[in-house]
Amino acid sequence: MKKNINQTQKQGWLTLFALVIIAFAVSIGFTPLFELIEDGIAARIIGSSFGAIFVIILTMFLLNKQTEIEQESKKSERVFDEKVKIYQKILDICSDMLMDGNLTQDEINRLPFPLIRLQMLADDTVIETFQKVFNKLNDIYKSDAEAEEVEIQEEEKNEIYQLLSNFSSECRKDQEISNIQINEKIKNETANTISQANSRKKNDQTKFKFDGKILPKNQYVYSVVTNYLKENPQLTLEQFKNSVFDRHSYGKTGQYACWKTYKEVMDLHYNGKGAYRFYVSKIAKEIETNKDKVIKLLDEEICLSNNWGKDNIKLFINDMKSKGVRTK
User: What is the bridge-based pairing of β-strands 301-304 and 213-215?
Assistant: unpaired
Sequence spans of domains, the chain: 2-75, 100-199, 208-322
Long-range Cβ contacts of 292-299 (<8 Å, 24+ apart): 293/222, 294/262, 295/225, 295/226, 295/229, 295/259, 297/229, 297/235, 297/236, 297/237, 297/240, 298/234, 298/235, 298/236, 298/237, 299/236, 299/237
Backbone angles phi, psi at 208, to 5 degrees: -130, 150
User: What is the bridge-based pairing of β-strands 301-304 and 208-210?
Assistant: unpaired
- Say what angle helices 41-99 and 112-121 make with each other, to 10 degrees: 160
Longest alpha-carbon distance in the chain? 116
* Cα dihedral across residues 94, 292, 246, 204: positive or negative: negative
What pTM, to 2 d.p., does this model score?
A: 0.45
Tens digits of pLDDT across the chain (328 residues) = 444 445 555 655 666 666 666 666 655 555 565 555 556 666 666 667 666 766 776 676 666 666 666 666 666 677 778 888 888 888 888 887 777 677 888 888 888 888 888 888 788 888 888 889 888 888 888 866 666 777 777 778 888 888 888 888 888 887 776 656 656 666 565 656 555 555 444 556 678 889 888 888 888 999 999 999 999 888 999 999 988 999 888 988 887 889 999 999 898 888 877 787 888 887 766 788 888 899 999 999 999 988 888 888 889 999 999 999 898 8
d(CA 88, CA 118): 12
